[in-house]
Structures are given as C-alpha cells and as structure tokens.
Amino acid sequence: MTNAPTLPDGVGWTAVLVAAQRAAESLSGAPAFRDPLAEAIVVHLGLAGPGEQPRFDAMPGDMAGLTTMMGDLVVLRTLHNDRVITESGVEQVVLLGAGLDGRAYRLPGAGRIFELDLAPGLALKEEAARAAGLQTLMRRTAVPADLAGDWASALLAAGFDPSRPTAWIGEGLTIYLDRSELDGLLTRVRDLSAPGSRLCLEIASRFDAGLADEEVADNGTRRLETLLREGPPIPPHDWLIDHGWSARHHTLVELGERHGREVTRWFDADRGGATLWMFTSSPLPRPGS
Ligand SMILES: C[S@@+](CC[C@H](N)C(=O)[O-])C[C@H]1O[C@@H](n2cnc3c(N)ncnc32)[C@H](O)[C@@H]1O
C-alpha cells in the first residue's frame, strides 16, 4: 500500500470503502446500478482516475482484506433497499449514518432525502459532487447530527415531516452504536414514523473464530473486530418487535440468490459464517391502539 490519501478528520475509511465498492460495481462491465457520486468520490480522493476501478490496496488498515471478505454485500444491500424505497412509494427517505451514500444523486423521483451523519462526511460528499458537477435527483437535505444524541430535533428543524410515510435506511450503521444508543434510535424512529413507513436495518451476527484461517479473512475479521461496538442483541428479531417494529427480513444469502450474486462464506451460516439479516420492518400498532 503506497500513498494512501488523507481523509478529513471525522471521516472513516469504512465509509470510503463502501463507496468504493459501489464505484467498482458502477464501473463494472454489467453494473447492477450506476452510482455517479461513488465514482466521483474515488476520483476526488485519488483512489482512481476518471472511469477507472478504485484501488482498494491504496487504502490503509486491511481494507483490501475487508473488501474480499464482504464480497457483494454492499451491492446486495443497495439493490435491496433501493427496491424498498421505490416499491413502498414513500415520500421521504432518511439515511441514518448516510456516509457517502449516493442515492440523492441517482434515484429518480420527486421525493425528499435527509442525510444524517457527522458533519465532515457530509461535507466531503458535497465537495466531491461539486468537483464532478453532479446534480441531485431528489431534494437533498444534509443534517449534521450525532445519532447517539438528539438527532431528531435537528431532523425536524431541517423540514422532516413525521406525518408522511418514510423509508429509514441504516446500512453499515448498527456496529458503531452501543445498545442504549440503538434502543434510543429505534424508539425515536418509531415515534417519527407515520403508517406506511419502513425501517431498513442491516444487522449481522458475530463471526465464528474458526473462519479466521486465511490471511485475507484474518486481516478482514481483525479489522471488523476493531470497529464493533455492542450493537443489537443477536438474534435481533424480538428486540425489533419490543421497540415497535416488525421483523420482516431477508438474509444476505437469500438476496444473493435473488440477484444471482455469490455471497462469501463469511456471511453464509451454512458454511460456518455469520448470518446477515436485511430487515424491512414496518411500525407495529401501539399496544391499546
Ligand atoms: C460504514 S459507514 C456507512 C455509510 C453509508 N450508510 C453507506 O452505506 O455508504 C458508517 C457511517 O455511520 C456514521 N456514523 C457512525 N456513528 C455515528 C453517529 N454516532 N452519528 C452519526 N453518524 C454516525 C459514520 O460517520 C459513517 O459515515
């Protein structure tokens, strides 16, 4: 690994990694989606020339090993949650931990999209979009806020309308939060959800230590372990229900079958890997209502 680009303080390499994975898909021979923002990000950070595949080995901290372990995880969750957003007919989307997500620049439609994350990542995204001359396709509002704190006031002040159905998208987020922070997040999201809303959360069980038997897996799993906070209880189904959400889901393996994509053994429980659930939860009626 040579000449790793410097990231602004407060922007994590994992947010760049998943954007680079979307760029790699976007620039592949037969892309399942195009993501112009992801392509712009990797160019902006010097990880690729225009139209070129990103160099994962130019990223520090075992990112290349993590990429190999993840396989098509990011592609599959993108396809799945895009489908939820378009098929549910919601008028608002809220990205919880938006990172460098490019939906505002690629999903057509007249809807609003609110991006909740810490300020530096939102600013980096705007710089990259500006440099590439990209226009948003949805009405985008960046909401700098800490999801472990009072993010809801900032969202409401930014124009979020709790009377409208909303798709809440939490991709690659739950590993960064402790249980009490996640409890608060789920409760607040439920309070702000009109009927017809959806909560799309990605939650994975822990790896079996026996899988760390190859150099690439070892690097990737070690890297992942450094990121993990307490996260949700595993399995998370009852926890979701207790917080007022249904537990409808697909596993990553099921999504791989649906889209004709291979899932790596690290995310396939039948091959000793973790289970990764993509939840598409709906608000449950409140007791007594
Ligand atoms: C792995 S990235 C995923 C980003 C994006 N969802 C995607 O899939 O491209 C995780 C994101 O969660 C954000 N995040 C983590 N903890 C947060 C917190 N307490 N408040 C706001 N954002 C947070 C990080 O800043 C980062 O952008």
The H or E element spanning position 22 is helix 13-26
| pLDDT for 1 | 46
In angstroms, the CA 43 to CA 124 distance is 12
Is 4 within a domain? Answer: no
Amino acid in the structure at residue 64: A
Q: What digits encode the pLDDT tens for the residues 110-136?
A: 699 999 999 999 999 999 999 999 999
* Count of domains forming the chain: 1
Is 42 within a domain? Answer: no
Is 27 within a domain? Answer: no
89 Rama class: left (phi>0) / alpha (psi -120 to 50) / beta:
left
Q: Cα-flanking dihedrals φ and ψ of residue 115, to 5°?
A: -115, 110
| pLDDT for 219 | 65
Average pLDDT score, the chain: 91
Q: Which residues contact 178 (CB under 8 A, 6 or more apart)?
A: 148, 229, 230
Q: What digits encode the pLDDT tens for the residues 92-106?
A: 999 999 999 999 999
Query: What domain range includes position 253?
Result: 69-281
Is 28 within a domain? Answer: no
Q: Which atom of ligand 1 is nearest to the CA of 77?
A: 8
Residues touching ligand 1 (Cβ under 6 Å) are 12, 14-15, 18-19, 97-101, 117-118, 121, 146-148, 171-173, 176
Strand partners, 166: 92
- Mutate which of 117, 179, 228 for ligand 1? The one with the most ligand atoms within 8 Å of its CB, which is 117
| pLDDT for 281 | 98
What is the CATH classification number for the domain harbouring 97? Answer: 3.40.50.150
Answer yes or no: are the C-beta atoms of 102 and 35 closer than 8 Å: yes
- Mutate which of 173, 180, 185, 201 for ligand 1? The one with the most ligand atoms within 8 Å of its CB, which is 173
Q: Which residue has the tokens 């889901």?
A: 249
Q: Which tokens sit at 159?
A: 């124009």
CA–centroid distance, residue 247 to ligand 1 (Å): 23
CA–centroid distance, residue 43 to ligand 1 (Å): 21
pLDDT at 8 over 90: no
CA–centroid distance, residue 14 to ligand 1 (Å): 9
Is 5 within a domain? Answer: no
Is 170 within a domain? Answer: yes
- Mutate which of 14, 77, 116, 118 for ligand 1? The one with the most ligand atoms within 8 Å of its CB, which is 118
Rounded to an integer, the average pLDDT of 172-189 is 94
